[in-house]
Each structure stands twice: as structure tokens, then as C-alpha cells.
A = this chain, B = another copy of it.
């Protein structure tokens, strides 16, 4: 099944995603970088540091889950009209290989762009000495929300 092609209703979707990303204290604190956002798709990168590690010096499952949440979430956000925000309803992540390497890459993409719910999947790779290994996969439910109603 090839991915559906999505169109972003807001031409400024990428700016909007970057602005939101920059407001997330956790992203700067962990060192997550927003590499690219296209309609229905978002690519993140997280360089390895002890600050994102678990007890064996690999990437922590929490860091992996954070990438899963945000790569899918901003993939969804890219498809919203101006003024709308995305909320994570739930997500699931399978860690299928140790998160070992210089960096993690997470690519989230929208599978269903519904009016009341958006469903996304993500793939997360670890890059080690230039070789990428699939490290985790996720599936996520998102909810669009009027930005004015968030607080």
C-alpha cells in the first residue's frame, strides 16, 4: 500500500510546525532537531549524548518514544488549517533493536487524515558508523483541536 498523498490546507504549515517545535522545552533539552516537514510527513533527528541514554549507554526508550510522539504529531500538525493544534490521544511503540549509534532518525507519516482524528505511523532508525538500523516502529492516534481551546 503506497502512502496517500496529502495536501496541506495552510501554505505556512512548515513555519507553523517549526514555531511550535521551538516552543517545546523538551526538544531543546534533549537536542532533537526538526530536519524536514512536508504535508503529512515529519523527519526528526536526535544525536546521542549521555543525557538521552539508558543504563547500557544506548538511547533510552523514553527518548525513542519522544521521537515517535513528535514525528507523528508534527506529521499530523502539517495537515491542519491555520489556528488548529494537534493533541496526542495515544501511541504505541515497539522497540525492535537497541538504540545504539551516533543518532536516531524518526519519520512520522499520516495514514488517515480524518476530521476528528488523525492516525499516523512512524519508523525510527539508529545510525551507527553510517549504517542505519530500524530501531523502533510506532502507531499513533492524534486529535485536531482549535488552538484557542487548548488552555
List residues of chain A with CB under 8 Å of any chain B CB. 1, 20-21, 23-26, 28-30, 49-56, 60-63, 65-70, 73, 87-97, 107, 111-112, 114, 116-117, 119, 121, 123, 134, 137-139, 141, 143, 150-151
The one of B51, B107, B150 in contact with A29, judged by C-beta atoms closer than 8 angstroms, is B51
Leading 9 A-B pairs by shortest Cβ distance: A62-B66, A65-B65, A92-B92, A23-B55, A25-B53, A29-B51, A25-B50, A26-B60, A90-B94
| A contacts with B: majority SS | mixed
Task: State whether A56 touches B151 (Cβ < 8 A).
Answer: yes
Task: State whether B26 touches A54 (Cβ < 8 A).
Answer: yes
